[in-house]
């Protein structure tokens, strides 16, 4: 601001120096030029350069802070949010949109300082010539009117393009992450076709935005040139009739370009505004919980024994009928517990509720008598772990996949857990052993090895309750046998609950619960259920027949 305001007298100083020369007042001309030189060197050279460096640092901090805060918000969203938000969309909000916000900050500050300086300058112009002052105000008013008319159109077209770019990012992300499946399924050409269509949509929206911008630029350029030509013609006429002096005329040859630059700044800021207004909306949807509220947890901490109870639980997914109705179940520790049933009867839903991916509509779920909604996030995550059919493995070394849980853990401790999961021998046979990089999604491991790594990681977490969600359904018999042996070792110290389609994997469970139509339809050992429960018997016979 100081640098901008300090340069206001430069036009006057040049005009005064020129007029002094025409009057042969050389001493005055030299003084005016020396003052002009000092202002340019000190204010524009030193002060403005320092201000620009400071602004760049502020923008850099703003970018990083916005990106970090949006990232944290994305991690705090409830898991159900990601059923609607694509990964590409969230990534774009964290990276591209956050950068857009910080980028426009400098542009906004620059325009603001020029507006402030131009307003002060306008007082001087009005004082010397109200006609030229009114001329400037009139043209600027026309520009503002055009901006107000075109802004909504430009914002709308930019928003459409951003949505298409989100789809582009999502498809790219899926294609790279699933590159093996993409090739083995033979769908590469299908995805290329999808990408071609998507690129075409992005191109169409971009052309629409460019055409709108072109019309806007033509109009604003005409307004700017009209101001320049109109002011010079007016100044010449006023100078001819002696209404203004030579100093003011030459000063206006500087100042008119200041207004031209201001109009350019407003024009560019308008372009940035389309980007930033869309970016602000998209980032605010995360930062201000406009899409979804953050996950909420209680303040209670427990060291669980592993006693779980569902009390009169009713639950249904959004816009679907209730899948659980007045559901009751108590699970005891130190047992191998299995939950079976036909697809869509609520088996995996129980795990979603236990891990608070979703919360119950009615009733409660307790851990050692404490409602899980009353637990802190740390206490809930510490006491309950889940191992899924496709466990997530970080693109880091084996050692780092454990250190992300506990930075202080050492290789000897890690080996204790991998031995329990029957994975240590394989890891030690690798050239880099525990420093082996696992690749994106753990591509360097087989399905069974990923499962065992996930189990070892869970053991390192020391969770009292361990949930297996179809953990062995996609494994070969050899890998399945390893997992079964690992689970058997866990039972004596943990509450182990297994959701399974393949009954052969849970026939030796201490107790099996049969879920049907959102309720417990039977319980007992494998032999007991074959004799007493028709649902279980039919499931077993169907599996045997398929085998």
pLDDT at residue 98, as a whole number: 67
Mean pLDDT of 280-287: 70
Checking if the pLDDT of 142 tops 80, the result is yes
Structure tokens at 253: 């040859």
CA dist 529 and 532 (Å) reads: 5
Mean pLDDT of 199-223: 84
| E strand intervals along 289-344 | 308-316, 322-331, 336-340
Distances (CA, A) of 407 to 321, 379, 411, 460, 503: 44, 18, 11, 11, 39
**Residues 6 or more apart in contact with residue 191 via CB below 8 angstroms:** 171, 175, 182
Q: What tens digit of pLDDT does each residue of 408-454 get?
A: 888 888 888 888 878 888 888 888 888 888 876 666 777 778 878 88
pLDDT at residue 82, as a whole number: 67
pLDDT bracket for residue 271 (50, 70, 90): low
Checking if the pLDDT of 84 tops 80, the result is no
Q: Is 259 exposed, middle or buried (0-12, 13-18, 19+ CB in 10 A)?
A: buried
Q: Is 243 exposed, middle or buried (0-12, 13-18, 19+ CB in 10 A)?
A: middle
- Does residue 336 contact residue 487 with C-beta atoms inside 8 Å? yes
pLDDT at residue 186, as a whole number: 66
- Specify the 3-state DSSP secondary structure of 169: helix
pLDDT at residue 292, as a whole number: 65
Neighbours of 71 (CB within 10 A): 17
Checking if the pLDDT of 473 tops 60, the result is no
Checking if the pLDDT of 103 tops 80, the result is no
CA dist 352 and 360 (Å) reads: 10
Q: Among 72-76, 136-140, 244-248, 292-296, which is the least confidently predicted range?
A: 292-296
Residue 366's beta-bridge partner residues?
Answer: 309, 371
Structure tokens at 230: 């109109």
CA dist 248 and 27 (Å) reads: 20
pLDDT at residue 333, as a whole number: 84
Could you tell me the domains of the chain? Answer: 2-287 (1.20.1560.10), 308-546 (3.40.50.300)
- Specify the 3-state DSSP secondary structure of 475: coil
State the chain's mean pLDDT as an integer: 80
Mean pLDDT of 351-368: 85
pLDDT at residue 425, as a whole number: 86
For residue 366, the surrounding DSSP H or E stretch is strand 362-367
Structure tokens at 539: 């499931």
């Amino acid at each position: 601001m100081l640098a901008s305001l300090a340069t206001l007298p430069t036009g006057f100083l040049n005009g005064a120096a020129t007029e002094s020369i025409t009057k042969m007042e050389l001493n005055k001309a030299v003084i005016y030029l020396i003052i002009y030189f000092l202002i340019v060197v000190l204010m524009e050279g030193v002060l403005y350069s320092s201000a620009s460096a400071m602004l760049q640092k502020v923008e850099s901090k703003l970018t990083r802070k916005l990106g970090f805060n949006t990232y944290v918000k994305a991690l705090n969203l409830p898991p159900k949010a990601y059923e609607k938000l694509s990964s590409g969309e969230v990534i774009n909000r964290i990276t591209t949109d956050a950068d857009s916000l910080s980028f426009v900050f400098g542009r906004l500050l620059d325009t603001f300082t020029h507006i402030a300086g131009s307003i002060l300058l306008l007082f001087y112009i009005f004082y010397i010539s109200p006609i030229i002052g009114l001329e400037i105000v009139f043209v600027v008013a026309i520009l503002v009117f055009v901006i107000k008319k075109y802004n909504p159109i430009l914002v709308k077209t930019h928003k459409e393009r951003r949505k298409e770019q989100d789809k582009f990012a999502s498809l790219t992300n899926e294609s790279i992450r699933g590159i093996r499946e993409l090739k083995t399924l033979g769908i590469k050409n299908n995805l290329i076709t999808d990408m071609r269509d998507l690129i075409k949509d992005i191109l169409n929206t971009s052309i629409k935005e460019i055409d709108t911008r072109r019309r806007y630029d033509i109009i604003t350029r005409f307004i700017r040139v009209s101001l320049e030509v109109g002011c010079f013609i007016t100044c010449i006429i006023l100078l001819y009739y002696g209404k203004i002096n030579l100093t003011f005329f030459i000063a206006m040859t500087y100042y008119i370009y200041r207004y031209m630059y201001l109009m350019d700044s407003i024009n560019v800021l308008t372009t940035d505004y389309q980007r930033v207004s869309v970016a602000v909306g998209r980032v605010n949807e995360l930062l201000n919980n406009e899409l979804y509220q953050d996950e909420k947890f209680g303040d209670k901490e427990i060291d669980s024994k592993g006693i779980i109870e569902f009390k009169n639980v009713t639950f249904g997914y959004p816009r679907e009928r209730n899948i659980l109705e007045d559901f009751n179940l108590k699970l005891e520790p130190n047992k191998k517990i299995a939950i079976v049933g036909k697809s869509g009867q609520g088996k995996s839903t129980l795990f979603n509720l236990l891990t608070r991916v979703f919360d119950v509509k009615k009733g409660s779920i307790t851990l050692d008598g404490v409602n899980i909604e009353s637990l802190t996030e740390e206490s809930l995550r510490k006491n309950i772990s889940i191992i899924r059919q496709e466990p997530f493995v970080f693109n880091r070394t084996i050692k780092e996949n454990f250190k992300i849980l506990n930075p202080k853990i050492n290789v000897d401790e890690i080996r204790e857990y991998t031995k329990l999961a029957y994975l240590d021998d394989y890891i030690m046979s690798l050239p880099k052993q525990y420093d082996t990089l696992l690749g994106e999604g753990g591509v360097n491991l087989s399905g069974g090895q990923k499962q065992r790594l996930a189990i070892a990681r869970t053991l390192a977490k020391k969770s009292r309750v361990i949930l297996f969600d179809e953990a062995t359904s996609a494994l070969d018999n050899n890998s399945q046998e390893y997992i079964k042996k690992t689970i058997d070792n866990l039972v004596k110290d943990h509450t182990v609950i297994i959701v399974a389609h393949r009954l052969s994997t849970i026939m030796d469970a201490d107790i099996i619960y049969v879920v049907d139509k959102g309720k417990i339809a039977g319980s007992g050992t494998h032999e007991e259920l074959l004799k007493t429960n028709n649902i279980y018997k039919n499931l077993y016979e169907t599996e045997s027949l398929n085998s």
